[in-house]
Amino acid sequence: MANQTVDIVSDSLKALVDDKDFLPELTGEGRNKAFSSLLSILSTPDHVNKSYLRIALEDGQVVRIPSFRVQHNNVLGPYKGGIRFHETVNEDEVVNLASLMTLKNALHEVPFGGGKGGVVINPRDYNEKDLYVICKKYVQYFSDILGPDKDIPAPDVGTGEREMDWMMAEYKSIRPGESYLGSFTGKSVVNGGSLGRREATGKGVYFTFRYLLHDFVCDKENWLAERDNIFAKTALSLKEKPLKLAIQGFGNVGSVAALSAYQCNHLNNKVVAVSDRNVTLYNSDGLDIPSLVKFVSLNKGDLPISDEQLNQAEIKATILNREEILMLDVDVLFLAALENQIHQENMMSIKAEIIVEGANAPVTTEADDYLSEKGIIIIPDILANAGGVIVSYLEWLQGRETQFYSEEEVFEKLYDKMKETFNSVLPQFFGDPFPLRQNCYIHAVMKLSIILYRQGKLY
């Protein structure tokens, strides 16, 4: 996965090197050397920190658990990125995700760099006390490189506000008398977290789709109709159509996106399918999302897996295999699970005309190229799932100022920030025959390149 960053940065710089309006001060051989420097800097991390956590489990066993904290680039501000608890975590994955955080923050003009953490465990295999010890040990092992002005972790797959509360408390105990509220974001509200942080990523994911198909397309309908652009044709064909939505993943991101769709009165859409690690649930008339959210909250995060459970919850749905959600005949597919979900083996079976990446890197490069050539609009992770880091920034600010926003203010600021980004990339996307992902990467690399040049980092 780490090579993906090299390709992203290389392709973006190739698109910029011949644009004489971009960094016009750089000319001739000096320009070539500067762009070579940019490729070297942006395609490699600043630091890869790895440790084996020594954990004494409650059952008396001592285990050594691999853990990582990768710091990719901090030219825009402190490193920022989640800590993932998952059995598939590996160094290449964490490096890749850290680099994508750098690009995401640059795209949305959030003053953070890119970082990422990971612990190689399945949290379901450990009890609460053991997870508490793992969180404490993680902070102890990496405390020298963490801090409100150095590197600020947040939740990711397998972690949430509970883990961030534990980690912040340990950071505070290790560094008494120092500022600590901004050391971790995604905390519970009573521990200095921000209202709306848990829902931020999911709400941002749905808002990205809604803004594109409702606000932008409605406002630019005549202009889009004049474009000789395959993606404009896709968007216009869906504008007035009743939309069927499928959502892969029903955790913090997927469930919030599903509920946002269920409650939306701007678009004629209904969620006909959702899935998790066990099952896909399908109802062509639309699923009862509030009842599913309630069921999941009472059943350790899992969707109903039997007709008996569906009947008890008074939910009407057909039970399908979990992978079937990707191939259903729907208009829009939200991917809110893990990476590499759509790939070379299943990409030809995709029927959705819009794919929204709520997870990080859920569509492989080969699948992205194939689907884009067919005119399928892919709203990439770098654009769609930035709600979490944007509200993390707001939480970080609130911790420094010890003044807190209402939930309404948080979401208003989130949507305003995302609108700014949409309006900088969508006109070019529908104006040029380039996928939206490429447009986003180019914008992010432009921002980083300018700052690196102004700071004298290219010599």
Predicted local confidence at residue 239, as pLDDT: 84
Predicted local confidence at residue 399, as pLDDT: 85
Contact 164, 135 (CB under 8 A): no
Predicted local confidence at residue 137, as pLDDT: 98
- As annotated, the residues of the chain forming the CATH 3.40.50.720 domain(s) are 198-379
CA–CA separation, 323 and 114 (whole Å): 32
457 carries an active-site annotation: no
Task: Considering the candidates 20, 80, 104, 116, report the single residue annotated as catalytic.
Answer: 116
CA–CA separation, 391 and 397 (whole Å): 10
DSSP strands (E only) in 190-257: 243-248
pLDDT in tens, the chain (459 residues): 445 677 888 989 998 998 889 999 999 999 999 999 999 999 999 999 999 999 999 999 999 999 999 999 999 999 999 999 999 999 999 999 999 999 999 999 999 999 999 999 999 999 999 999 999 999 999 999 999 999 999 999 899 999 999 999 999 999 999 989 999 999 999 999 999 888 999 999 999 999 999 999 988 999 999 988 889 999 999 987 899 999 999 998 999 999 999 999 889 999 999 999 999 999 999 999 999 999 999 998 899 999 999 999 999 999 999 999 999 999 999 999 988 999 999 999 999 999 999 998 899 989 999 999 999 999 999 999 999 899 999 999 998 877 788 999 999 999 999 999 999 999 988 887 678 888 999 999 999 999 999 999 887
The residues, ordered by sequence, that sit 6+ positions from 264 with a Cβ below 8 Å of its Cβ are 206, 210
Helix (H, G, I), strand (E, B) or coil at 115: strand
Please report which residue ranges of 18-90 form alpha helices under DSSP H. 28-42
The residues, ordered by sequence, that sit 6+ positions from 235 with a Cβ below 8 Å of its Cβ are 212, 213, 217, 224, 377, 430
Phi, psi (degrees; rounded to nearest 5) at 277: -65, -15
- As annotated, the residues of the chain forming the CATH 3.40.50.10860 domain(s) are 47-194
Which class is domain 198-379? alpha beta
Predicted local confidence at residue 1, as pLDDT: 43
How many Å separate Cα 93 from the centre of its chain? 14
DSSP 138-176: HHHHHGGG-BTTTEEEEE-TT--HHHHHHHHHHHHHHST
Q: What is the widest separation between alpha-carbon atoms in the chain? A: 71
Measure CA of the first residue to CA of the last residue in the chain; give whole Å: 29
Predicted local confidence at residue 400, as pLDDT: 84
Q: Which of 268, 266, 260, 216 lies closest to 240 in space, CA to CA? A: 268
CA–CA separation, 81 and 396 (whole Å): 13
- Look up residue 142 and give its two tokens: 């990496």
Architecture of the domain made up of 47-194: 3-Layer(aba) Sandwich (3.40)
- Look up residue 431 and give its two tokens: 């104006």
CA–CA separation, 334 and 29 (whole Å): 45
Predicted local confidence at residue 458, as pLDDT: 85
Q: Which of 264, 259, 250 lies closest to 335 in space, CA to CA? A: 250
